[in-house]
Structure 1
Amino acid sequence: MKKFLLFVAMVAVMFVAAACGSGNEETTTESNEQTASEQTEGNETTEEATADLEGSVVVDGSGTVYPLMSVVAEEYMYTEQENVSVEVSRAGTSAGFGRFLVEDGTDFNNASRQIKDEELAEADAAGFEVMEMKVALDGLTFVINKENDWATELTKEELISIFHHDGGVEKWSDIRPEFPDEEIHAMGPNENHGTYEFFYEAILEKEDLVDGVNLQQEYSTLVNLVSEDVNGIAFFGFGYYVNNQDKLQAVNVDFGDGPIEPSLDTIGEEAEYAPFTRPVFTYLNVDKAKANPQVLDFALFTANNVNEFAGQTGFAPLPDEEVQAYVEVLEGLK
């Protein structure tokens, strides 16, 4: 209203001034003023469209999903809502759920496994609804040292035997006689990570890992350990391998029909690398999305754009119809 009154006053003053001059001057002055007014209103409209939200969005959870969601967050802040701060952390899936499933917890939790029933019960106890969103497909990838020239192709069963407590494998030669008579150094992410839980539950079928396995909190630590140890072997998500393939090489896995290289072309729930393929997720606090427009807006941006960034960060994209289903649910929260 103040801007409108100021505008009216300015027009009135200019009208009086113009009346003292010629008719041509009056027409020119009015025309110039109208153009300036239209430009000002246009600029205000643009600013309102690109900066009409503010506040923060807090995301934690999976280290596997972190590279994807951090890129989505950067794009959102840069191109969509410059006054919204999106903080993405990587405590690990399980540790992240510990921060999400509490009153006034984080807005989103990224996860490299599905939420458990007991975790959903924690959300109920805290009094809020949780929405599961798949964001991409990932391939569990086994990595070895660049100088390892014998274990570049292994069967699924051979890989499991390396990490299984009853696998009967301590040295490479225990797998195949022609392999080196050297101790295998098995490594992986620790229990805070959904990747560990997926491996333990889906691959090892809840059997214990081999004694002496080196479990780490940070994926970067695993990369460094394997890159410095010719007898090292570790597992984590394909996306993290892609970002470190200058230091490591991936094992091609034979599921029964010949060795398959993990790649964006082979990773998929119906693709060649399907036995080691898993969906990865983000979980939304629905109550926070309803109460905080920036949280819902970021959720919608994620659903609408995540496929664009999946391949860039080492993930296979989701089917378009699945993405659209999430968009429709989120639109219904407005």
Structure 2
Amino acid sequence: MKSFKRFLLLTIVASLAVFAAACGNSNNGSSDGTSAEGGEELEGSVVIDGSGTVFPFMSVMAEKYMTEAQEGVSVEVSRAGTSAGFKKFLVEDGTDFNNASRQIKDEEKAQADELGMEVKEMKVALDGLTIVINKENDWAKELTEQEIIDIFLAEGNKKKWSDVRSDFPDEEIKTYGPNENHGTYEFFWENILEEKDLAEGTNLQQEYSTLVDLVSKDKNAIGFFGYGYYESNKDKLTAVKVDFGNGPVEPSLDTIAEDGEYANFTRPVFTYLNVGLAKEKPQVLDYAIYTMQNAQKVASETGFAPLTDEEIQKSVEELEGLK
């Protein structure tokens, strides 16, 4: 009887040990089942705003984090636009992160300095500015880089499609794009149009979904936004193949690279971290580290070209150094 009782006691202890180990190894971490904080359960919130272009990437990232890593943390992602987002970020008690489809400007850096705020730039993926047309448009599927610039420039004076090429229809061109709140607009205006005036009557919108809808319903429309929005609306729009001088190039995850065939229209996209808040709130730093650890996977899932292993490793190490 004593032997049986001893056996029963050992069995119970062993079972409890197995149960505890199983609980300790539950999926409370990143995609490999370990959290950035080494398995610690966190609570609280993470507040993110900014770029509409980066929004799909960060929305998926937030969902993965809340279901795979830290169920006790609430991650809120909004999309006011890059510039509007920086206004919410660069204030006392501002957002934890600001997504951006352009780099922070000097005047925004100066604002941060005035506030005594340390800001960390986190490059998360690569995006390709994509020129889109209506599905019924069968004449402008391939355009040169200069033709695109002339269409969107006021001084290009391309008011009808026949002004671009004589064999194009004698119909008025309708130009569309995101408004000035968006980094995509700023990238296009600053880097491609070289800060010259847009064509008169260009229809600029706050919401990318509205742009998709407008172009999809206008046979003579041509617009621009990030590749991810085209990727998720291929059934409604056609992406223009752009000839940069060596033949037409279709935007894709393979061609969108800083030294790739689509390089002229390729840009990095970012999120910016308030370092002070990251040091005060463990969940904010944990989310930042998780984002970089999973950036390549989420980029590919949401229409972005992923960063290199070396870039990811460097960024993670820098974030780890903030602990």
Q: Indicate the TM-score class for this superposition, using the shorter chain for normalisation.
A: over 0.9
Q: Which residue of 2 aligns with 1:257?
A: 246
1:218-237 mapped onto 2 (5 Å cutoff): 218-237=207-226
Segments of structure 2 that go 5 or more residues without pairing to the other structure are 29-37
1:107-256 mapped onto 2 (5 Å cutoff): 107-256=96-245
Q: Which residue of 1 aligns with 2:82?
A: 93
| Separation of aligned partners in 1, 2:299 and 2:7 | 55
Higher helix share: 1
Instruction: Give the 3-state SS of the residue equivalent to 2:156 in structure 1.
Output: coil
Segments of structure 1 that go 5 or more residues without pairing to the other structure are 1-21
Say if 2:13 is the partner of 1:34: yes
**Displacement of 1:312 after TM fit?**
1.3
**Displacement of 1:34 after TM fit?**
1.4
Amino acid at match of 1:26: K
**Displacement of 1:258 after TM fit?**
0.7
Say if 2:249 is the partner of 1:270: no
**Displacement of 1:25 after TM fit?**
2.8
Question: How many residue pairs get matched?
Answer: 313
Q: Which residue of 1 aligns with 2:2?
A: 23
Instruction: Give the 3-state SS of the residue equivalent to 2:254 in structure 1.
Output: coil
Residues 140 and 237 in structure 1, CA contact (< 8 A), matched pair in contact too: yes
Tell which structure's C-alpha radius of gyration is larger: 1
| Separation of aligned partners in 1, 2:111 and 2:232 | 35
**Displacement of 1:28 after TM fit?**
2.3
Instruction: Give the 3-state SS of the residue equivalent to 2:154 in structure 1.
Output: coil
| Separation of aligned partners in 1, 2:249 and 2:22 | 55
| Separation of aligned partners in 1, 2:150 and 2:261 | 21
Instruction: Give the 3-state SS of the residue equivalent to 2:155 in structure 1.
Output: coil
Residues 101 and 123 in structure 1, CA contact (< 8 A), matched pair in contact too: yes
Residues 147-196 of structure 1 deviation map (CA, whole Å, 9 limit, x = unaligned): 00000000000001111010011000000010000000001000000000
**Displacement of 1:51 after TM fit?**
6.2
Residues 66-111 of structure 1 deviation map (CA, whole Å, 9 limit, x = unaligned): 1111111111111110111111111100000010011110000000
**Displacement of 1:24 after TM fit?**
2.2
Q: Which residue of 1 aligns with 2:317?
A: 328
**Displacement of 1:60 after TM fit?**
0.6
Residues 141 and 241 in structure 1, CA contact (< 8 A), matched pair in contact too: yes
Say if 2:296 is the partner of 1:317: no
**Residue of structure 2 aligned with 1:62, choices 51, 57, 80:** 51
Q: Percent identity?
A: 65
**Displacement of 1:45 after TM fit?**
3.1
| Separation of aligned partners in 2, 1:67 and 1:52 | 26
**Displacement of 1:46 after TM fit?**
4.1
TM-align CA RMSD: 1.3
**Displacement of 1:35 after TM fit?**
2.1
Report the TM-score when normalising by structure 1: 0.91
Q: Which residue of 1 aligns with 2:24?
A: 45
| Separation of aligned partners in 1, 2:149 and 2:249 | 16
| Separation of aligned partners in 2, 1:126 and 1:212 | 39
Report the TM-score when normalising by structure 2: 0.94
Amino acid at match of 2:163: D
